[in-house]
């Protein structure tokens, strides 16, 4: 039997990433304690290098390699570019936070890069096993990141919960995949789709498999009723890690859902639509209502994430290019807002002081009106108030839902987002209407200052000119279907 | 009429740009600079709006000063603006009120001046945007964005219970508008991919969706107007808001709701409007009569004026749903006139509040002895609020009653009770505050109004009298548009 070497070019950025992870690890050991910035800089260079590789090899059509297990298409490239940007911003935002708390170790950077690699594999997978490998690479790195402060009780507890529930979810997914394999005899996404379409497989087995897969996805997306881990992990993990967990993996999760449900099981849309409707409504209900009761800002944002994931799932329900591109736009907007708001929380932290409670936002307008303004933009955007980008994200998803004939669902969605508006307004109230409890000035490096200002401003500017990002999302989906 | 210069865009964006400039002056060390930039910006904003009136072609009901550019293609949303006889007077009113508000807050606001002044300027631009949008999404964006500055104004510079009032105001309004958004999205699909409001006017819609659309719009606009029974946010917001906030709220923001009925509910869902007209009329009459009685019992001056606003706006919605020319034109005049009168009334209360820091009627008495000039102005506005002939308050109410009598005598009868109740609550308050013996040492120490306050009240007094005596320039510009609207509404779209 002849061995045909696979075409490596479509996976060039992944290969580069893998090499660089090892380089970062070794370089950090060589550089030692005193020159930790080497690892930081190398990590940023790695992300830049990957971005260049992905950009140069941008594919306008689907290129399969590794015997059809790996795909490179427009959606994958665009998602990956977003992931690089997000991870890079995460590093800038969290640099001083982790160094203040003694977490500035080589492991931090290599784990983040491994997680990023996992996301890239997930996004580009066209085989159920590749999907699973990518997901596990991401998840295992995240478990370790959450437990990075091993002397913190909260963090270890959160890591334990995350790990146990995450492993359970992975088990669900694998079980579901094995069912699909049993019914179709293949694990290739495109072949699964063909066999389901031909009707040659047992519908019952497929549905059992689908249920498990959807449950696994819901776990990973933290959609209710599989959301229990999110508040604990968001609260327990160091804020820098929460920022990471809450941002880039959502982009990967979008790719994951696209590959599994849409490309693999698109023929069974009638079956998973109903499941997603339930997940979406429950997530919006649980997320928005439970968030009102929170006093811990990270916990509140965890519930807010749950509700946003519900909204994201709405985009999939309409099951057409319009809906998927709306969902992609939503997830990009969501990541942009999450980055900004967690960065703001880290900015409020000082050495020896963790900004954990929503009361830490009190009187921010009097302490620093510019940051208060940025937070105002972010909060209004999360609440979906125009002219912020969050509104257009909700608008795009809602129009897809209405287009699919689910007007009642759109009404439910806006009613829950009205409830949601309350707790975002509460933050604005604390910042603008209340007096500060401390007059300590906010200290930040200039790179954080510039990036955070740009981030907050982007929420407004992309809202006033949403065409480019909307067009990009549409292009990504249209070109990959 | 072709008018190459993007005048409307200038009217929308000039105040916003100045508002940002005011924000940029930073903290209170530059307060004086912030005040002057705000004043220049608001006066310029009014000056650039004047050509809108002078170049307006009142012979046509079509949209004028059109601008149309692609905003985002993905959903076929356009930056499409223009005005007709309904929106043009409202834009002028808004541009006219803004400088007054800036001047009213000149000495009174001492904390975070730049944010205060900036918020009013930005809001002025946003409101102009609401009135001139011809694209549903553009409209929605401006509509919701107008909440943000008002929320902050009430919340930051308001009274003791400001947080409750600000959040109530925001959530109430948001509830209504989110359902409106769904109606827009439905219309987008029904019209096969268009967000143009003028296309919606032509779109044929079956009865059931029409009623649902009408209800979605009703929730959005009824909260804004506010109609009974969703008016409860207004007294709270008014009482807690600083004087400038109350003025803008009453004079401008309530008009957004009324405008919405004319631009959306009536022309897009005419059959539902006819079908539900009686319900709307009943709701309006409840507002006129019942809220009028509530106003009578108020101990707080601002609350009293707030309730009287609800009653007067009840007249506006009543006029709309009579669906005849008198009714709609009368309601339009009433909206403009209410803008002047309620603004002036809130300014008057503000004058007193700045001196004694109390809004309770019982804390005053005998003010005329110490503030004769002020008492004279307050008298005029109180009379106008009660609908005295010769003031602008009379014109609108009279026209609406004329319209009502054509439809049903009892509608007119109940509506006319406002002339009694309005006079009762306004004049009784006036009597208790102004006349009588000097009530307390605090009243004894009152000083009469300053030049700044005199100027403000004089300008408003002239406007109130002018519309009361010679309303023709106002009614003239809206004739053609109202006629066209009525013809449109009388044709079924089923």
Query: Min CA distance, B470 vs chain A (Å)?
Result: 41
Q: Are B210 and B269 in contact (CB under 8 A)?
A: yes
Number of residue pairs across A and B with CB atoms under 8 Å? 93
Q: Which of residues 417-476 of A touch B (CB under 8 A)?
A: 417-418, 421-422, 425-426, 428-429, 432-433, 465-467, 470-471, 474
For residue B26, pLDDT over 80 is answered with no
CB contact under 8 A, A429 and B74: no
- What is the residue-averaged pLDDT of chain A? 89
A293 lies in some domain: yes
Among chain B residues, CA nearest to A413: B178
CB contact under 8 A, A418 and B27: no
What is the rounded distance in angstroms from the CA atom of residue B109 to the CA atom of residue A219?
Answer: 52
Other Cβ atoms less than 10 A from the Cβ of B420: the count is 12
Interface probe for B, chosen from A386, A395, A409 (most Cβ of B below 10 Å), is A386
Q: Are B150 and B158 in contact (CB under 8 A)?
A: no
- Report pLDDT for A245: 92
A287: its two tokens: 């997320």
Interface probe for B, chosen from A418, A460, A464, A469 (most Cβ of B below 10 Å), is A418
A4 lies in some domain: no
Nearest to A320 by CA among A131, A128, A470, A474: A474
Residue B228, phi then psi, degrees to nearest 5: -65, 135
Q: What is the 3-state secondary structure (H, E, C) of B341-354?
A: HHHHHHHHHHHHHH
Helix (H, G, I), strand (E, B) or coil at A149: coil
- Total number of residues shown for chain A: 481
- Report pLDDT for B487: 86
What is the rounded distance in angstroms from the CA atom of residue B150 to the CA atom of residue A184?
Answer: 60
Query: Min CA distance, A292 vs chain B (Å)?
Result: 14
Nearest to B94 by CA among B120, B68, B64, B56: B120
Proportion of chain A above pLDDT 70, given as a percent: 99
Q: Are A39 and A24 in contact (CB under 8 A)?
A: yes
- Report pLDDT for A379: 92
Q: How far apart are the first and last CA of chain A?
A: 34
What is the rounded distance in angstroms from the CA atom of residue B227 to the CA atom of residue B258?
Answer: 10
Nearest to A313 by CA among A444, A443, A217, A428: A217
- What is the residue-averaged pLDDT of chain B? 86
- Report pLDDT for A1: 58
CB contact under 8 A, A433 and B156: yes
What is the rounded distance in angstroms from the CA atom of residue B167 to the CA atom of residue A5?
Answer: 64
Query: Min CA distance, B258 vs chain A (Å)?
Result: 22
Q: Are A38 and A31 in contact (CB under 8 A)?
A: yes
Query: Min CA distance, B319 vs chain A (Å)?
Result: 31
β-pairing, B77-83 vs B64-72, is antiparallel
Confidence of residue B4 (pLDDT cuts 50, 70, 90): low
* Structural domain containing residue A324: 9-478
Partners of residue A429 in chain B, C-beta under 8 Å: 155, 163, 166-167
Residue A443, phi then psi, degrees to nearest 5: -105, 140
What is the rounded distance in angstroms from the CA atom of residue A199 to the CA atom of residue A184?
Answer: 10
Per residue in B284-321, pLDDT tens?
Answer: 999 888 988 888 888 888 888 899 889 888 889 999 99
Calculate the alpha carbon distances from B197 to A221, A319, B138, B139, B264 in Å: 38, 29, 10, 9, 8
Per residue in B392-423, pLDDT tens?
Answer: 888 888 888 888 888 888 888 888 888 888 88
Examine residue B229 and say whether the peptide bond preceding it is cis (omega within 30 degrees of 0).
yes
Angle at B228 between CA B225 and CA B231, to 5 degrees: 60
CB contact under 8 A, B178 and A417: yes
What is the rounded distance in angstroms from the CA atom of residue A201 to the CA atom of residue A189?
Answer: 15
CB contact under 8 A, A380 and B148: yes
Per mean pLDDT, which of A116-125, A347-356, A436-445, B109-118 is the most reliable? Answer: A116-125
Nearest to B459 by CA among B292, B259, B247: B247
A391: its two tokens: 């509104």
Partners of residue A371 in chain B, C-beta under 8 Å: none
A57 lies in some domain: yes
CB contact under 8 A, B151 and A425: yes
What is the rounded distance in angstroms from the CA atom of residue A332 to the CA atom of residue A329?
Answer: 5
Among B141, B163, B182, the residue with its CB nearest the CB of A433 is B163
Mean pLDDT in residue range A77-84: 93
Calculate the alpha carbon distances from B422 to B222, B272, B285, B341, B428 in Å: 22, 32, 14, 13, 10
Give B153-172 as a DSSP string. Answer: HHHHH--TTHHHHHHHHHHH
CB contact under 8 A, B115 and A385: no
Query: Min CA distance, B175 vs chain A (Å)?
Result: 6
For residue A252, pLDDT over 70 is answered with yes
What is the rounded distance in angstroms from the CA atom of residue B4 to the CA atom of residue B2?
Answer: 6
Query: Min CA distance, B133 vs chain A (Å)?
Result: 15
Query: Min CA distance, B282 vs chain A (Å)?
Result: 27
Interface probe for A, chosen from B141, B171, B189, B241 (most Cβ of A below 10 Å), is B141
- Report pLDDT for B1: 44
Query: Min CA distance, A56 vs chain B (Å)?
Result: 27
Put simply, whether B186 touches A (Cβ < 8 Å) is yes
CB contact under 8 A, A396 and B75: yes
A1 lies in some domain: no
Per residue in B190-209, pLDDT tens?
Answer: 888 888 888 888 888 888 88
Per residue in A42-76, pLDDT tens?
Answer: 999 999 999 999 998 888 888 888 888 898 888 99
CB contact under 8 A, A467 and B145: no
The CA-based diameter of chain A, rounded to the nearest angstrom, is 76
Partners of residue A391 in chain B, C-beta under 8 Å: 141, 144
Put simply, whether B410 touches A (Cβ < 8 Å) is no
Put simply, whether B164 touches A (Cβ < 8 Å) is no
Question: Residue A72 belongs to what H/E stretch?
Answer: strand A70-72
Among B156, B181, B189, the residue with its CB nearest the CB of A432 is B156
A310 lies in some domain: yes
Q: Are B311 and B291 in contact (CB under 8 A)?
A: yes
CB contact under 8 A, B148 and A407: no
Put simply, whether B95 touches A (Cβ < 8 Å) is no
B72: its two tokens: 């985002």
A3 lies in some domain: no
Mean pLDDT in residue range B445-452: 83
- Total number of residues shown for chain B: 494
Examine residue A144 and say whether the peptide bond preceding it is cis (omega within 30 degrees of 0).
no
A284: its two tokens: 């919006």
Looking at per-residue pLDDT, the higher value among A257 and B112 belongs to A257
Among B137, B179, B186, the residue with its CB nearest the CB of A414 is B179
Q: Find the radius of gyration of the CA atoms of chain B.
A: 21
Confidence of residue A304 (pLDDT cuts 50, 70, 90): very high
Q: Total structural domains in chain A?
A: 1
Nearest to B411 by CA among B301, B302, B321, B310: B321
Give me the residues paired with residue A65 across strands: A70
> Residues near A11 by Cβ (< 8 Å), separated by ≥ 6?
A65, A66, A70, A72, A124
For residue A3, pLDDT over 80 is answered with no
CB contact under 8 A, B167 and A429: yes
Other Cβ atoms less than 10 A from the Cβ of B9: the count is 17
> How far is CA A417 from its chain centroid?
20
Looking at per-residue pLDDT, the higher value among B386 and B27 belongs to B386
Confidence of residue A177 (pLDDT cuts 50, 70, 90): very high
Put simply, whether B189 touches A (Cβ < 8 Å) is yes
Partners of residue A395 in chain B, C-beta under 8 Å: 75, 137, 181, 185
- Report pLDDT for A78: 92
Q: Are A477 and A330 in contact (CB under 8 A)?
A: no
For residue A209, pLDDT over 60 is answered with yes
Residue B134, phi then psi, degrees to nearest 5: -115, 10
Nearest to A217 by CA among A153, A261, A247: A261
Q: What is the dihedral of CA A307, B189, B195, B151, to 10 degrees?
A: -30
For residue A332, pLDDT over 90 is answered with yes
Could you give the ipTM of this predicted complex?
A: 0.87
Angle at A22 between CA A18 and CA A24, to 5 degrees: 110
A2 lies in some domain: no
> Residues near B494 by Cβ (< 8 Å), separated by ≥ 6?
B204, B205, B206, B207, B210, B271
CB contact under 8 A, A411 and B182: yes
What is the rounded distance in angstroms from the CA atom of residue B389 to the CA atom of residue B260?
Answer: 29
What is the rounded distance in angstroms from the CA atom of residue B479 to the CA atom of residue B85?
Answer: 7
Among A407, A421, A474, the residue with its CB nearest the CB of B186 is A407
For residue B2, pLDDT over 70 is answered with no
Nearest to B11 by CA among B177, B128, B162: B128
Partners of residue B167 in chain A, C-beta under 8 Å: 422, 425-426, 429
CB contact under 8 A, B74 and A425: no
- Report pLDDT for A351: 66
A384 lies in some domain: yes
Per residue in B129-139, pLDDT tens?
Answer: 999 999 999 99
CB contact under 8 A, A385 and B147: yes
How is residue B435 annotated by DSSP?
A: S
Mean pLDDT in residue range B15-22: 89
What is the rounded distance in angstroms from the CA atom of residue B27 to the CA atom of residue A71?
Answer: 55
What is the rounded distance in angstroms from the CA atom of residue A267 to the CA atom of residue A196?
Answer: 7
């Amino acid at each position: 039997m002849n061995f045909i070497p696979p075409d490596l070019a479509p996976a060039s950025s992944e290969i580069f990433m893998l090499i660089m992870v090892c380089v970062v690890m070794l370089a950090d050991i060589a550089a030692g304690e005193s020159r930790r910035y080497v690892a930081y800089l190398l990590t940023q260079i790695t992300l830049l290098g990957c971005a260049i590789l992905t950009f140069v090899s941008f594919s306008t059509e689907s290129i399969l390699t590794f015997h059809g297990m790996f795909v490179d298409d427009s959606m994958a490239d665009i998602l990956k570019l977003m992931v690089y940007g997000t991870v890079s911003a995460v590093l800038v935002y969290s640099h001083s936070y982790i160094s203040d708390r003694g977490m500035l170790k080589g492991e931090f950077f290599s784990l983040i890069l491994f997680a990023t690699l996992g996301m890239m594999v997930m996004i580009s997978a066209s085989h159920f096993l590749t999907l699973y490998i990518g997901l596990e690479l991401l998840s295992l790195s995240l478990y370790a990141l959450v437990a990075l402060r091993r002397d913190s009780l909260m963090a270890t507890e959160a890591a334990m919960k995350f790990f146990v529930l995450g492993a359970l979810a992975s088990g669900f997914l694998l079980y579901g995949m094995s069912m699909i394999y049993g019914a179709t005899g293949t694990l290739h996404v495109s072949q699964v789709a063909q066999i389901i379409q031909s009707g040659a497989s047992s519908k019952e087995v497929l549905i059992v498999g689908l249920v498990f897969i959807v449950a696994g996805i819901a776990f990973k997306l933290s959609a209710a009723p599989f959301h229990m881990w999110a508040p604990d992990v968001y609260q327990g993990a160091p804020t820098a890690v929460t920022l990471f967990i809450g941002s880039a993996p959502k982009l990967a999760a979008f790719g994951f859902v696209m590959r599994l449900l849409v490309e693999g099981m698109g023929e069974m849309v009638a079956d998973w639509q109903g499941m997603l409707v339930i997940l979406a409504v429950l997530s919006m209900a649980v997320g928005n209502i439970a968030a009102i009761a929170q006093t811990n800002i990270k916990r509140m944002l965890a519930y807010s994430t749950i509700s946003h994931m519900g909204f994201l799932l709405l985009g999939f329900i309409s099951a057409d290019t319009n809906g998927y591109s709306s969902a992609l736009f939503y997830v990009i907007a969501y990541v942009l807002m999450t980055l900004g708001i967690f960065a703001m929380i880290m900015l409020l932290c000082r050495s020896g002081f963790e900004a954990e409670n929503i009361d830490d936002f009190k009187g921010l307008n009097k302490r620093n009106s510019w940051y208060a303004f940025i937070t105002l933009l972010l909060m209004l955007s999360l609440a979906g108030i125009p002219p912020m980008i969050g509104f257009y994200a909700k608008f795009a998803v809602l129009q897809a839902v209405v287009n699919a004939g689910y007007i009642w669902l759109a009404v439910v969605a806006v009613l829950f987002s009205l409830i949601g508006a309350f707790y975002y307004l509460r933050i604005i109230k604390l910042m603008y209407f209340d007096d500060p409890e401390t007059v300590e000035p906010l200290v930040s490096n200039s790179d954080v200052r510039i990036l955070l200002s740009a981030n907050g401003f982007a929420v407004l500017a992309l809202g006033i000119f949403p065409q480019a990002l909307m067009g990009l999302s549409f292009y990504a989906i249209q070109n990959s279907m | 009429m072709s008018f190459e210069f993007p005048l409307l865009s200038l009217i929308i964006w000039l105040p916003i740009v100045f508002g940002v400039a005011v924000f940029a002056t930073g903290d209170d060390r530059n307060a004086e600079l912030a005040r002057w930039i705000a004043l220049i910006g608001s006066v310029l904003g009014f000056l650039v709006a004047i050509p809108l009136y002078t170049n307006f072609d009142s012979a046509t009901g079509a949209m004028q000063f059109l601008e149309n550019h692609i905003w985002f293609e993905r959903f076929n949303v356009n930056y499409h603006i223009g005005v007709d006889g309904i929106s043009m007077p409202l834009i002028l009113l808004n541009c006219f009120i803004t400088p007054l508000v800036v001047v009213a807050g000149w000495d009174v606001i001492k904390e975070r001046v730049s944010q205060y002044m900036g918020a009013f300027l930005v809001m002025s631009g946003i409101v102009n945007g609401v009135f001139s949008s011809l694209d549903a999404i553009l409209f929605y964006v401006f509509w919701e964005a107008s909440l943000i500055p008002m929320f902050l104004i009430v919340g930051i510079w308001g009274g003791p219970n400001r947080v409750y009032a600000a959040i109530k105001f925001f959530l109430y309004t948001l509830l209504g508008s989110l359902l409106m958004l769904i109606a827009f999205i439905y219309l987008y699909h029904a019209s096969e991919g268009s967000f143009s409001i003028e296309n919606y006017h032509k779109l044929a819609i079956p009865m059931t969706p029409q009623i649902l659309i009408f209800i979605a719009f009703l929730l959005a606009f009824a909260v804004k107007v506010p109609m009974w029974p969703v008016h409860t946010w207004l007294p709270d917001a008014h009482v807690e808001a600083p004087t400038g906030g109350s003025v803008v709220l009453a004079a401008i923001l309530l008009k957004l709701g009324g405008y919405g009925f004319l631009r959306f509910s009536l022309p897009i869902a005419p059959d539902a409007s006819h079908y539900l007209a009686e319900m709307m009329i009943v709701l309006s009459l409840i507002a006129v009569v019942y809220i009028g009685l509530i106003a009578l019992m108020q101990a707080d001056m601002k609350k009293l004026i707030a309730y009287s606003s609800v009653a007067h706006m009840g007249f506006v919605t009543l006029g709309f749903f009579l669906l005849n020319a008198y009714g709609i034109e009368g309601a339009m005049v009433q909206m403009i006139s209410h803008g002047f009168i309620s603004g002036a009334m809130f300014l008057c209360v503000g004058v007193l509040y700045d001196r004694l820091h109390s809004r309770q009627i019982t804390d005053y008495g005998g003010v005329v002895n110490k503030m004769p000039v002020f008492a004279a102005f307050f008298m005029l506005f109180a009379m106008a609020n009660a609908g005295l002939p010769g003031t602008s308050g009379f014109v609108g109410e009279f026209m609406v009653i004329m319209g009502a009598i054509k439809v049903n005598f009892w509608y007119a009868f109940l509506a006319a009770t406002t002339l009694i109740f309005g006079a009762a609550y306004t004049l009784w308050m006036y009597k208790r505050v102004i006349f009588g013996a000097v009530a307390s040492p605090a009243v004894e120490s009152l000083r009469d109004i300053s030049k700044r306050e005199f100027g403000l009240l004089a300008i408003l007094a002239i406007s109130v009298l002018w519309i009361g005596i010679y309303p023709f320039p106002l009614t003239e510009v809206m004739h053609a548009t109202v006629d066209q609207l009525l013809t449109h509404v009388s044709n079924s779209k089923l």
